[in-house]
Amino acid sequence: MTIHKEGFKIITVTIITLLIINVATRYFLPDTTWLHTALLVSSIGLFLIILQFFRKPVRVVAVNPKHIIAPCDGKVVVIEEVIESEYFKGPRRQVSIFMSPLNVHINWNPIGGLVKYFKYHPGKYLVAWHPKSSTENERTTTVLQSANGVEVLYRQIAGALAKRIVWYVAEGQKVTQGSEMGFIKFGSRMDLFLPLDAKIEVNLEEKATGGQTIIAVLAD
């Protein structure tokens, strides 16, 4: 396991800031040993929390054109038929995965194919499980078209703590299943919009592993 490139700047700033605070406290308040100890322990705890947030695990992806794999780590919080109004403008099966701050926050492409559509939407920062977060929060929308013409839409959604969405895809780009498509910093959610005839392979409250868990199987 390594550290993701999106974490280098934040981790460096965190280390410098914590060092300055701890050194300044010892210099200006030399006789408060209890405060020095408490501050040091708190600093180490904060550093470890941020470090684990940006961890980059090794994931072996079993590429299969019939499978739609989890685009992120987290808990399945929505499985329902909805009207997708941005791109399909019709009924689709929605599967949503909530990422807590403790989850790996790398995002993976759920299928391989051509990026048919991409759009970034500025917006609010409602809690990620809020019903309106899918349409009102800061978000990106990406549509991938597989080699056999099936289109899958997935959406990165910022949460109350997530203040930056990063993406590595663009319209016209070809991507492979399980390759990195982006990163969301500090708590968020991802929505998948699938064909109605896709067979859902997960249940509500189930934990998904990005790049590995099979979310659905496409119909023949």
Active-site residue numbers? 188
Name the burial class of residue 185, with classes exposed (0-12), middle (13-18) and buried (19+) by CB atoms within 10 angstroms of its CB: buried
* Gap between the Cα atoms of 152 and 117, Å rounded: 10
Q: How many contiguous H segments (helices) and E segments (strands) does the chain have? A: 3, 16
Give the count of beta carbons closer than 10 Å to the beta carbon of residue 24. Answer: 10
Q: Please report, for residues 27, 31, 39, 43, the alpha-carbon distance to residue 35 in angstroms, rounded to integers and kept in the order given.
A: 12, 9, 6, 12
Question: What stretch of H or E contains 73?
Answer: none
What dihedral do alpha carbons 103, 105, 111, 112 form, nearest 10°? -140
